[in-house]
Amino acid sequence: MSSRKISDTSSHLAIAMDTKKHILAMASIEQVIEHFRLVETFDDKYQQQNAFAHLVESCWNEFGPSHRYLKRLVLQYVNQLEREGEAVESDALSELVLRVSLRKDDVPESNESCYLSFQIPGKEGMDDPIDGWLRIRVFPYHNDVALRLWEAGAAVAEYFLDHPFLLENMHVIELGAGVGLTGIVIAACCNPSSVYLTDYTDVCRNNLRHNLEINRKWLAHHGVSPDQIAEGYLEWESFAHPTGLTVNEMNDDPAMVSFQRAQVLIAADVLYDVSVIDSLVLVVKRFLIQQSNRQRKEVIFAITRRNMNTFKLFLDHLRGHGIHCTYLAKSCDNLTKMFPCNFFQGREDVQVAQLRLTAFHDDDVR
């Protein structure tokens, strides 16, 4: 085989894997097709169409993206071929088009789930990524926002991947963990002592437990034992205003134990409801006032700027409780992108902030 042919084959494999990563993350369909069509060394159109069909088929399984997404991907690829005056020549692509055309577009149901999959580098010192995929089950059409992956959750995970030393040897607790992506990535790649993921609805926690369990082997490959990452119940309102609990009951509660032990509290995309901001800030304050000269506590929030009035209200509540907010990143646009999902807003709208109990300075937050 000539060196040119070897180079072409390597190029095909690299582009195919890059495209597959985008499909499994349910990236924008335009972006997926653009990545795939970067391959310019196919011998003919039949070969290119065949490769596309087999690539989509390889993602069509029980741990794959939404079938609705894959159907749109196939039909949009074929539409683009037709706009460019090309016919469908590949038998594999023809069969795939027939398959998706026969699939009915029923009204999405709330219990309809699918998986987002990602390849993440190993801990520092590992030369190659672990051979395997981090899989996160999501419910795209459910009315519980905790069952989807949001911009700030992915962006802050990328932030910690670029700054793993911030959490090294730390006990970490996460508020509003949702589908669990951020905490799972932190546990695998930032070398914390422990990670405790919290949320409060039954449906969210069931899904969170599911995502932890299906990734146990992947976590083990990254050196994470089962006792280093767990999930639990923490509802902000009752936690901020505890009533009727004895000291012993509070000390026996796993979430309380993890809350008291943690040195770092993290949260992402939790500023979506003005009615919970007061309780959220009180939980943050309760965490920070536990610090001592021997143990410094800090809070790291990832915030997507959507409604500026909600954001301003959050900042006002922080001020009122003497909590100092400093930006670690005013935009997450320049981070190493590991999660190429099709989010509603870009990473330029996501900010990472550090919260501490110190004197507040107006010029820290604008």
Q: Are residues 94 and 119 in the same domain?
A: no
| pLDDT tier, 255 (very low <50, low <70, confident <90, very high otherwise) | very high
| pLDDT tier, 292 (very low <50, low <70, confident <90, very high otherwise) | confident
Composition of the chain by helix, strand, coil, percent to 5:
50, 15, 40
The CATH code of the domain that includes 348 is 3.40.50.150
Of the candidate ranges 45-54, 217-226, 289-298, the one whose mean pLDDT is the lowest: 289-298
Q: Are residues 134 and 269 in the same domain?
A: yes
Q: Is residue 108 part of a domain?
A: no
| pLDDT tier, 308 (very low <50, low <70, confident <90, very high otherwise) | confident
List, as one string, the DSSP characters of 121-180. --STT-SS--SS-EEEEE-TT-S-GGGS--HHHHHHHHHHHH-GGGTTT-EEEEES-TTS
Q: Is residue 148 part of a domain?
A: yes
Kindly tell me if the per-residue pLDDT of 244 is higher than 70: no
Residue finishing a domain among 102, 126, 144: 102
Indicate the number of domains in the chain: 2
Q: Are residues 300 and 346 in the same domain?
A: yes
Domain that residue 72 falls in: 3-102
Q: Are residues 93 and 124 in the same domain?
A: no
Residue finishing a domain among 102, 124, 150: 102
Task: Count CB atoms within 10 A of the CB of residue 235.
Answer: 15
Q: Is residue 107 part of a domain?
A: no
Run of H or E residues at 58: helix 45-59
Q: Are residues 45 and 78 in the same domain?
A: yes
CA distances from 170 to 23, 142, 195, 228, 293 (A): 34, 34, 9, 11, 16
Q: Are residues 219 and 348 in the same domain?
A: yes
Locate tokens 């026969």: which residue? 102
Q: Are residues 134 and 19 in the same domain?
A: no
Q: Residue 44: its pLDDT value, please?
A: 82
Q: Are residues 192 and 307 in the same domain?
A: yes
Residue finishing a domain among 72, 102, 132: 102
Locate tokens 């059409």: which residue? 141
C-alpha span between 254 and 249 (Å, rounded) = 10
Q: Are residues 248 and 289 in the same domain?
A: yes
Tens of pLDDT, residues 90-120: 999 999 999 998 877 777 888 899 999 999 8
Tens of pLDDT, residues 263-286: 999 999 999 889 999 999 999 999
Q: Are residues 276 and 172 in the same domain?
A: yes
pTM (2 d.p.): 0.90
Tens of pLDDT, residues 3-57: 333 344 455 556 677 899 999 999 999 999 988 887 656 778 888 899 999 999 9
Strands of the chain (E only): list them. Answer: 114-118, 134-138, 171-175, 194-199, 229-233, 264-268, 298-304, 324-329, 350-356
Q: Is residue 321 part of a domain?
A: yes
Q: Are residues 81 and 13 in the same domain?
A: yes
Q: Are residues 89 and 137 in the same domain?
A: no
Q: Is residue 109 part of a domain?
A: no
CB 12 within 8 A of CB 43: no
C-alpha span between 281 and 243 (Å, rounded) = 18
